[in-house]
């Protein structure tokens, strides 16, 4: 199996959006993705970046992230989504993407990477624990949808 890990490009955005939709289905929120391909195209590079995994020339996984700021720690990278197609899980591809994300964080000289994981997503939790992540359980997320 030929695997290539690289920075995502604008040409990858349709496949990235498909992966986001697949993740929403996995997370039991199939109708939650309302961002369009046009939204992705408008904000790619200005707001977010991606790392993609190609398997035999087809996008099989990705990490979508952006720079932000922690008032306590300073420059921070936020991992918005990290997903592999169902058929490509458990082959080490996720670890390759995660390692590339860590390297990108070092290049950007961030002090930490933050993300969310659902409390029932045992495979993801175990993956992050294997990578020596600190998983916080005492914080609640807040959000307001602006329509």
Q: Is 52 exposed, middle or buried (0-12, 13-18, 19+ CB in 10 A)?
A: buried
Catalytic residues: 128
Q: Cα dihedral angle (4, 88, 40, 136), rounded to 10 degrees? A: -110
């Amino acid at each position: 199996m030929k695997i290539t890990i690289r920075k995502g490009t604008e040409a990858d955005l349709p496949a990235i959006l498909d992966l986001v939709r697949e993740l929403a289905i996995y997370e039991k929120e199939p109708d939650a993705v309302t961002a369009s391909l046009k939204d992705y195209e408008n904000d790619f590079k200005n707001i977010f970046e991606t790392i993609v995994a190609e398997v035999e020339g087809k996008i099989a996984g990705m990490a979508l992230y952006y720079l932000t700021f922690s008032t306590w720690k300073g420059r921070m990278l936020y991992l918005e989504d990290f997903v592999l197609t169902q058929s490509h899980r458990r082959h080490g591809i996720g670890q390759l993407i995660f390692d590339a994300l860590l390297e990108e964080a070092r290049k950007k000289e961030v002090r930490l990477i933050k993300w969310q994981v659902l409390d029932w997503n045992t495979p993801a939790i175990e993956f992050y624990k294997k990578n020596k992540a600190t998983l916080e359980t005492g914080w609640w997320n807040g959000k307001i949808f602006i329509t």
